[in-house]
C-alpha cells in the first residue's frame, strides 16, 4: 500500500480528473446521465486518493515532502517532474479535493445557460487537475505549467456560461493573470541562471538531494528549477538588488492572482460575471495559488529580497483590507460585494505572510482555507438567490428569511463566519494574522507593522459593517412586492443541501478545532520562517 | 582562344570532388521526384491529375527516409570542400521542411481540386521549393545560400498568384515577387561586398577574415555588408520594417500557399540567417547584436499592435507571424554570450511554430469550406455546431499565445532562457519587452477563440460541414505535435541539443 502511494499517489490525485475529462470527451453529448456520473466520479476518485494519502501522511514529519515523485522531464534545462506533499500543500490539496465535488453536485440539477454539460464539466475537470498540480509541483517550471493551465478553462467557464458582461470579464481575467505570469516566468529563468550552491549546512542539505547536486561545491552554479534545491540555495550568489528585482517579477505573478491592491480590479468583474460554479472555484481555490506561491516559492527562495519587500507587501495588504471593505460598502450587487470582500479577506492573508514569522505564515495558511470555505459558501448562496430572484440587486432583495427561511439562516451563518465570529473558521484566519503583525520578523520595522495591525483591526469593524448590512438588507424585512408571491422562490433544495452542508460542517469543525490546520502547516511554515530569519 | 585562357589558369588540376551520395540522398530524392512529377504531367496530362497529391506526398515522405538513416548514422559529413555540411542540426531542419511540406500537400489536396486550379504544376512547384529549403539547411557558402534562396522563392512567387481569376491573388503574387526580387538584390549586393572583404564565399573562411580585419581597414564595408545581408533576409522572414508585403500576400494567396509561405518559407529565411549569422557574422557580435535587437523589438511590437486591429483571421495570422518572427529574432541579439542556447532556442521555436501555425491554417481551410470567408466574425458560434474543430483551433491559438500545456509555451520559454542566460543588459531588456508582447498577443488570439466559443453564428446557419480526410490528417498531425511538444518538451530538446554543433563553431 505504502509503496503504491509513494509511487502513484500524487500522480493519480492530479491526473484522475484529467482522465475523467478525457473519458467525458468520448461520451456523446446526449447522454447527460453518463456525463454527470463521470463528472462526479472523477473528482470523487481523486478525493478518495487524497484521503488515502492524508491517512498515510506522517504528521510528525509534516515539514518534509512526502510521497515524492521525481522523474526526468526536460533534461536540457534540468527541469524535472517533481511532486511532493508537505504540511503546507496538504490543507490546500484537501480544500481543492473537497470543493470540486461539491460544485459538481451543485451543478447536478442544471448547468448554467447555455447548457452543454459535457463541455462545462470537461473544463471543470481540467481545471481541477491544474489546481491540484499547482499545489503539489515542486519544480518551478512544472508549477508554472499547472498555474497557466488553470487560465483557459476558467476563461471559458466565465466567457461561455457567465453573465451579461462575460466577454469583457473573461478577457480581463485572462490578460491580467497572463501579464503577471509572463514576468513570473522571466523571474524563474533568471533564478535558474543566477542561483549558486550555498555554503555550510545548506550545502549539505543540497547535496543530500542527490543527482547532479551530490558533488556540488559552494559557489557552483545551481542550474536548477527544483524548489527544494533553490530553497536550500536561498538565492546564494545573487546580489541583493538583483534578488529584489527577481522577487518583483514573482510579486507581479502571484500578487495579481491573490489579488493584491492595486492589481485587484479584474476580480470583481470576473466574480460578478462568472457562473456560480466558476465563482466558487475562483474564490475557494484559484486565488490561493497566489498566496501559496508567495509562501512556497517567493519567500523561501529569495529570503533577503522577501525582507526588503515585506513592508511593501504589508502596506498593500492593509490598503487592500480597507479598500476592499470600503468597496463593499459601495456595492449594490450582492455578488460584487462578496467579490470585494474577497479582496479584503485576502488582504489579511497577505498581511500574515508579510510578517515573515511562522505565526503569520500559519495564520495565512489557515486564512486561505477558511476564506475558501466561507466565500465559496457565500458565492453558492448568491448563485441560488440569483437563480430564484433573477437579480442580485440588494435594493430589490429582502425578506429572504420569510420567503426562504432556511436559505436565509445559512446566509446568516456564512456572513457571521465571514466577519470572523469566534467559534467559526473565519476567526482563525483573521485574528492571528492581525496578531502576527504585532511582532513581525526580526529586522522588520516594528512600528510600521504595529500601525498596520491597528489599521487591519479597523478593517474587521468595517467587515462586520458591510456583512451585517448585506444580511440586514437581503434577509430581514419583508419581501418586496414583486417577489411576494413568486412561486420560483423556494427554499434550499436537496442538491443545495448536499453541496452546502459539508462546507457548513467544515466551517464549524475548523472553528472549534483550528489545530487541524495549524498543527499540520505549523512545522512546514516554521522551516520557511527560519530561512527568512524570522 | 579557350586554350590560351586555360593556360592562364594556375597549374592545379581540376579534381572532380568525391561525392558522399548518402549525405545528399534527401536532395536527390526530391530532385528526381520533382522531375517525375513534371514529366508525368507532360505526358499523361489530365490522367495523372488525381495521383499528383499522392505522388508528391510520397516524394516528400520518401526523402525523409535518408534523413532518418543519416540521423541514425549521426556523423557530420562535409562535402564540396566545406561548402555543404550535413550535421545533426541540418537534419532536424530538413525533416521539419519535409514534414511541413507534406502537411501543406495534405491541406492543398481538396482545396486545389475543388477550386479547379492547375493541379500538377502546383505540386511540382511545391516540391521544387522544398529542394531549395533542403539545400539551405546544409549550405555553408554564400553562393549556395543564394541559389537555395532563389530556388525556394521563385516557385513561391508563382504559387501566391495561383488563383488566377482573383485580383487579390494576382496582387499577392506581384507584390511578393517585386518585394522578393528587391530583397534579393539587396542581399546580393551585401554578399558581393562580403566576398570583397572576406575573400571567399565560404562562411568559415569569411569568418576568419572578419576576425582578422577587426576594426582595421575595411571595417566600414564589413558593417555595410552585414547590414545589407541581414536586411535581405529580414524581407524573407517578414521582420518589421520589411514586412509590408506579408499581409497582402497572405490574404490574397490560396490559403494552403499562405500556410506554406508563413511556415516553410519563413523557416527557410531563418535557416539562412542561422547559417550566415552563427557560422560567419558571429565573428562581429558588436555589429549584429544591436541590429537584431532593433529588428526583434520592432517586429514583435509593431506586428502585435497591428494584429490587434485585424478583422480577417488570415491577416491576423500574418501580423501575428510577424510578431512571432520578432520573438525568433531576439536570441540573435545575445549570440556573443549565449551562443548555444540562442541556436537551440531558435530551432525549437521554428519546429513548434511550424506545428501550431500549420495547424491553425488547416483549421481555417476547414472552416472556410463552410463560411466562404475568413472574417473573424464569420467564425461566430462555431462551438455550437462544430465543437471538435473549435477545440482544435483553440489549442492552436492557445499555443500561439504561449499558454501551457501546448507547445508554444516552451518555444517562448526557450527564447527567454537564451535571452536571460546571456546575462547582458540587452538580453534582459528584450526579455521584458517580449513578456509584455506576449500579453498583447494573447488578446488577439483569444479574440478569435472568444468569437468561436461565445458568439452566435452570424446568419444562424449552423449546419456542420464535412471535412475531407486529408485535412483531418493535417490537423491530426499538427495537434498531436503541438500537444506533445508542450507536455514533453524533452522530446524536442533531445534532438535539438546542438551543443556539439555550437561548440564546433566557436571562434
Alpha-carbon distance B317 to A314, whole Å? 44
The interface predicted TM-score of the complex, written ipTM, equals: 0.87
Cβ-defined contact of B421 to A167 (cutoff 8 Å): no
Report if residue B199 sits inside a domain.
no
Cβ-defined contact of A171 to B443 (cutoff 8 Å): yes
Give the closest of A74, A152, A185 to B489, CB-based: A74
Q: Which residues 379-408 of chain A have a CB within 8 Å of chain B?
A: none
Q: Which residues 50-79 of chain A have a CB within 8 Å of chain B?
A: 72-77
Bridge partners (DSSP) listed for residue B78: B85
Nearest CA in chain B to A118: B387
Q: What is the dihedral of CA A225, A226, A228, A233, to 10 degrees?
A: -40
Backbone angles phi, psi at A526, to 5 degrees: -60, -40
H/E stretch holding A475: helix A446-475
Burial class (CB in 10 A: 0-12, 13-18, 19+), A469: middle
Alpha-carbon distance B70 to B23, whole Å? 7
Partners of residue A77 in chain B, C-beta under 8 Å: 417, 493
Q: How confident is the model at residue A19, as a pLDDT?
A: 94
Nearest CA in chain B to A245: B428
Cβ-defined contact of A178 to B436 (cutoff 8 Å): no
Decide if A142 touches B, using CB distance below 8 A: no
Report if residue B290 sits inside a domain.
yes
The three-point CA angle B216-B217-B222 to 5° equals: 90
Partners of residue A120 in chain B, C-beta under 8 Å: none
Decide if A267 touches B, using CB distance below 8 A: no
Total residues belonging to chain A: 534
Question: Could you tell me what percent of chain A has a pLDDT over 90?
Answer: 60
H/E stretch holding A219: none
Partners of residue A149 in chain B, C-beta under 8 Å: 403-405
Cβ-defined contact of A149 to B493 (cutoff 8 Å): no
Partners of residue A190 in chain B, C-beta under 8 Å: 420
Please give the DSSP secondary-structure letter assigned to residue A72: E
> What sections of A107-239 are H helices per DSSP?
117-136, 140-149, 151-161, 166-194, 200-208, 227-233
Alpha-carbon distance B375 to B379, whole Å? 7
Nearest CA in chain B to A75: B490
**A250, A187 Cβ separation under 8 angstroms:** yes
Report if residue B124 sits inside a domain.
no
Query: Rounded to a whole number, what is the distance in angstroms from the first to the last CA of chain A?
Result: 39
Backbone angles phi, psi at A220, to 5 degrees: -65, 145
Cis bond upstream, residue A114 (ω within 30): yes
Cβ-defined contact of B454 to A74 (cutoff 8 Å): no
Backbone angles phi, psi at B197, to 5 degrees: -85, -30
Decide if A264 touches B, using CB distance below 8 A: no
507 residues of chain B, pLDDT tens digit each: 566 665 655 555 666 777 888 888 999 999 999 999 888 888 877 777 778 888 899 999 999 999 988 888 878 888 888 888 888 888 999 999 999 999 999 998 887 777 767 778 889 899 999 999 999 999 999 999 999 999 999 999 999 988 888 888 888 889 999 999 999 999 999 999 999 888 888 888 888 888 888 777 878 888 999 999 999 999 989 998 888 888 889 988 888 999 999 999 999 999 999 999 988 888 888 888 999 999 999 999 999 999 998 999 999 999 999 999 999 999 999 988 888 888 889 999 999 999 999 999 999 998 888 777 888 888 888 888 888 899 999 999 999 999 888 999 999 999 998 998 888 889 999 999 999 999 999 999 998 998 888 888 877 777 788 888 889 999 999 999 999 998 888 877 766 666 555 555 543
Report if residue B202 sits inside a domain.
no
Summarised one tens digit per residue, pLDDT across range B156-202 is 999 998 888 888 888 888 999 999 999 999 999 999 999 988 888 88
Burial class (CB in 10 A: 0-12, 13-18, 19+), A158: buried
Nearest CA in chain B to A74: B490
Alpha-carbon distance B240 to A485, whole Å? 66
Give the closest of B442, B488, B497 to A178, CB-based: B442
| Domain enclosing residue B300, as ranges | 285-507
Cβ-defined contact of B413 to A189 (cutoff 8 Å): yes
Q: How confident is the model at residue B177, as a pLDDT?
A: 92
Report if residue B259 sits inside a domain.
no
Bridge partners (DSSP) listed for residue A333: A393
Counting the structural domains of chain B, the total is 1
Partners of residue B493 in chain A, C-beta under 8 Å: 74-77
The nearest CA of chain B is from the CA of A48 a distance in Å of 26
Give the closest of A148, A160, A174 to B404, CB-based: A148
Decide if A238 touches B, using CB distance below 8 A: no
Cis bond upstream, residue B241 (ω within 30): yes
**A144, A174 Cβ separation under 8 angstroms:** no
Give the closest of A73, A167, A179 to B450, CB-based: A167
Cβ-defined contact of A76 to B490 (cutoff 8 Å): yes
Cβ-defined contact of B488 to A73 (cutoff 8 Å): yes
**Residue B26 falls in which region: left (phi positive, over 0), alpha (psi -120 to 50) or beta:** alpha
Backbone angles phi, psi at B359, to 5 degrees: -60, -45
**A195, A216 Cβ separation under 8 angstroms:** no
Query: Rounded to a whole number, what is the distance in angstroms from the first to the last CA of chain B?
Result: 45
Alpha-carbon distance B255 to B109, whole Å? 12
Alpha-carbon distance B420 to B441, whole Å? 21
> What sections of B76-218 are H helices per DSSP?
88-114, 120-138, 142-160, 167-198, 203-213
- Among residues A234, A196, A211, the alpha carbon closest in space to that of A78 is found at A211
CA distances to A76, A181, A201, B327, B404 from B413, in Å: 12, 12, 33, 11, 10
Positive or negative CA dihedral for B54, B55, B60, B65? positive
Report if residue B495 sits inside a domain.
yes
- Among residues A5, A86, A101, the alpha carbon closest in space to that of A53 is found at A5
Summarised one tens digit per residue, pLDDT across range A480-497 is 777 777 777 788 888 899
Amino acid at each position: 500500500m505504502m509503496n503504491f502511494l509513494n509511487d502513484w499517489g500524487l500522480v493519480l490525485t492530479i491526473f484522475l480528473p484529467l482522465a475523467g475529462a478525457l473519458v467525458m470527451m468520448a461520451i456523446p453529448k446526449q447522454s447527460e446521465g453518463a456525463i454527470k456520473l463521470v463528472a462526479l466520479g472523477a473528482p470523487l476518485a481523486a478525493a478518495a486518493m487524497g484521503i488515502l494519502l492524508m491517512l498515510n501522511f506522517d504528521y510528525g514529519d509534516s515539514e518534509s515532502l512526502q510521497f515524492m515523485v521525481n522523474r526526468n522531464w526536460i533534461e536540457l534545462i534540468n527541469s524535472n517532474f517533481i511532486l511532493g506533499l508537505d504540511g503546507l500543500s496538504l490543507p490546500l490539496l484537501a480544500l481543492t479535493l473537497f470543493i470540486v465535488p461539491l460544485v459538481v453536485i451543485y451543478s447536478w440539477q442544471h448547468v448554467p445557460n447555455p447548457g452543454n454539460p459535457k463541455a462545462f464539466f470537461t473544463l471543470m475537470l481540467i481545471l481541477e487537475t491544474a489546481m491540484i498540480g499547482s499545489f503539489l509541483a515542486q519544480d518551478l517550471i512544472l508549477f508554472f505549467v499547472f498555474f497557466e493551465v488553470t487560465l483557459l478553462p476558467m476563461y471559458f467557464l466565465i466567457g461561455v456560461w457567465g453573465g451579461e458582461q462575460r466577454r469583457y470579464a473573461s478577457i480581463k481575467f485572462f490578460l491580467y493573470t497572463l501579464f503577471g505570469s509572463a514576468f513570473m516566468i522571466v523571474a524563474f529563468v533568471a533564478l535558474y541562471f543566477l542561483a549558486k550552491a550555498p555554503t555550510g549546512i545548506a550545502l549539505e542539505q543540497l547535496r543530500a538531494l542527490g543527482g547532479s547536486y551530490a558533488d556540488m561545491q559552494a559557489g557552483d552554479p545551481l542550474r536548477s528549477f527544483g524548489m527544494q534545491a533553490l530553497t536550500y540555495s536561498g538565492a546564494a550568489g545573487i546580489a541583493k538588488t538583483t534578488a529584489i528585482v527577481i522577487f518583483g517579477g514573482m510579486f507581479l505573478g502571484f500578487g495579481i492572482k491573490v489579488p493584491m491592491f492595486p492589481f485587484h480590479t479584474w476580480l470583481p468583474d470576473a466574480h460578478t460575471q462568472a457562473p456560480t460554479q466558476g465563482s466558487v472555484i475562483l474564490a475557494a481555490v484559484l486565488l490561493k495559488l497566489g498566496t501559496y506561491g508567495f509562501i512556497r516559492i517567493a519567500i523561501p527562495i529569495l529570503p533577503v529580497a522577501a525582507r526588503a519587500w515585506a513592508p511593501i507587501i504589508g502596506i498593500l495588504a492593509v490598503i487592500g483590507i480597507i479598500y476592499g471593505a470600503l468597496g463593499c460598502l459601495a456595492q449594490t450587487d450582492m455578488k460584487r460585494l462578496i467579490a470585494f470582500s474577497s479582496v479584503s479577506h485576502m488582504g489579511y492573508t497577505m498581511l500574515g505572510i508579510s510578517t515573515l514569522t511562522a505565526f503569520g505564515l500559519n495564520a495565512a495558511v489557515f486564512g486561505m482555507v477558511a476564506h475558501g470555505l466561507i466565500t465559496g459558501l457565500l458565492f453558492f448562496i448568491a448563485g441560488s438567490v440569483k437563480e430564484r430572484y433573477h437579480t442580485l440587486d440588494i435594493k430589490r432583495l429582502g425578506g429572504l428569511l420569510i420567503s426562504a427561511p432556511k436559505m436565509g439562516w445559512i446566509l446568516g451563518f456564512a456572513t457571521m463566519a465571514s466577519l470572523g465570529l469566534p467559534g467559526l473558521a473565519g476567526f482563525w484566519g483573521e485574528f492571528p494574522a492581525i496578531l502576527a503583525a504585532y511582532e513581525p520578523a526580526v529586522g522588520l520595522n516594528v512600528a510600521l507593522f504595529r500601525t498596520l495591525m491597528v489599521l487591519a483591526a479597523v478593517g474587521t469593524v468595517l467587515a462586520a459593517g458591510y456583512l451585517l448590512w448585506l444580511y440586514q438588507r437581503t434577509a430581514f424585512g419583508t419581501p418586496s412586492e414583486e417577489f411576494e408571491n413568486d412561486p420560483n422562490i423556494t427554499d434550499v433544495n436537496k442538491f443545495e443541501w448536499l453541496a452546502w452542508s459539508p462546507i457548513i460542517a467544515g466551517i464549524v469543525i475548523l472553528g472549534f478545532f483550528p489545530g487541524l490546520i495549524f498543527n499540520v502547516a505549523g512545522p512546514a511554515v516554521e522551516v520557511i520562517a527560519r530561512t527568512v530569519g524570522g | 582562344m579557350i586554350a590560351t585562357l586555360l593556360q592562364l589558369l594556375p597549374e592545379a588540376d581540376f579534381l572532380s570532388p568525391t561525392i558522399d551520395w548518402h549525405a545528399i540522398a534527401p536532395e536527390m530524392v526530391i530532385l528526381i521526384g520533382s522531375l517525375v512529377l513534371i514529366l508525368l504531367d507532360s505526358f499523361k496530362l489530365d490522367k495523372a491529375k488525381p495521383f499528383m497529391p499522392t505522388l508528391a506526398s510520397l516524394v516528400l515522405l520518401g526523402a525523409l527516409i535518408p534523413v532518418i538513416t543519416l540521423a541514425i548514422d549521426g556523423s557530420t559529413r562535409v562535402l564540396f570542400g566545406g561548402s555543404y555540411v550535413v550535421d545533426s542540426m541540418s537534419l532536424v531542419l530538413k525533416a521539419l521542411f519535409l514534414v511541413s511540406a507534406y502537411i501543406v500537400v495534405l491541406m492543398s489536396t481538396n482545396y486545389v481540386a475543388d477550386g479547379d486550379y492547375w493541379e500538377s504544376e502546383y505540386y511540382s512547384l511545391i516540391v521544387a521549393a522544398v529542394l531549395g529549403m533542403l539545400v539551405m539547411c546544409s549550405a555553408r557558402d554564400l553562393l549556395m545560400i543564394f541559389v537555395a534562396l532563389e530556388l525556394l522563392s521563385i516557385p513561391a512567387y508563382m504559387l501566391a498568384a495561383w488563383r488566377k481569376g482573383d485580383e487579390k491573388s494576382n496582387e499577392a503574387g506581384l507584390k511578393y515577387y517585386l518585394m522578393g526580387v528587391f530583397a534579393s538584390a539587396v542581399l546580393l549586393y551585401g554578399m558581393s561586398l562580403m566576398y570583397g572583404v572576406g575573400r571567399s564565399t565560404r562562411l568559415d573562411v569569411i569568418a576568419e577574415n572578419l576576425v582578422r580585419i577587426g576594426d582595421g581597414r575595411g571595417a566600414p564595408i564589413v558593417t555595410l555588408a552585414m547590414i545589407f545581408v541581414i536586411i535581405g533576409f529580414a524581407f524573407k522572414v517578414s521582420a518589421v520594417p520589411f514586412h509590408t508585403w506579408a499581409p497582402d500576400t497572405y490574404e490574397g494567396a490560396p490559403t494552403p500557399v499562405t500556410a506554406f509561405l508563413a511556415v516553410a518559407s519563413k523557416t527557410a529565411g531563418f535557416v539562412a540567417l542561422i547559417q550566415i549569422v552563427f557560422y560567419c557574422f558571429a565573428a562581429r557580435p558588436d555589429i549584429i547584436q544591436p541590429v537584431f535587437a532593433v529588428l526583434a523589438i520592432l517586429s514583435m511590437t509593431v506586428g502585435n499592435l497591428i494584429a490587434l486591429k485585424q478583422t480577417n483571421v488570415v491577416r491576423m495570422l500574418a501580423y501575428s507571424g510577424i510578431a512571432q518572427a520578432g520573438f525568433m529574432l531576439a536570441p540573435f541579439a545575445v549570440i556573443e554570450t549565449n551562443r548555444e542556447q540562442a541556436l537551440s532556442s531558435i530551432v525549437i521555436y521554428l519546429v513548434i511554430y511550424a506545428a501550431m501555425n500549420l495547424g491553425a491554417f488547416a483549421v481555417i481551410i476547414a472552416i472556410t469550406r463552410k463560411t466562404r470567408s475568413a472574417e473573424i466574425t464569420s467564425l461566430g458560434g462555431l462551438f455550437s455546431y462544430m465543437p471538435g474543430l473549435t477545440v482544435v483551433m483553440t489549442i492552436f491559438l492557445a499555443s500561439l499565445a504561449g499558454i501551457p500545456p501546448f507547445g508554444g509555451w516552451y518555444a517562448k520559454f526557450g527564447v527567454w532562457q537564451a535571452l536571460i542566460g546571456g546575462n547582458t543588459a540587452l538580453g534582459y531588456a528584450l526579455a521584458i519587452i517580449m513578456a509584455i508582447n506576449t500579453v498583447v498577443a494573447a488578446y488577439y488570439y483569444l479574440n478569435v477563440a472568444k468569437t468561436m466559443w461565445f458568439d452566435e453564428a452570424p446568419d444562424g446557419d449552423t449546419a456542420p460541414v464535412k471535412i475531407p480526410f486529408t485535412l483531418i490528417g493535417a490537423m491530426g498531425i499538427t495537434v498531436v505535435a503541438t500537444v506533445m511538444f508542450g507536455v514533453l518538451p524533452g522530446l524536442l530538446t533531445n534532438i535539438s541539443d546542438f551543443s556539439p554543433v555550437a561548440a564546433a563553431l566557436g571562434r
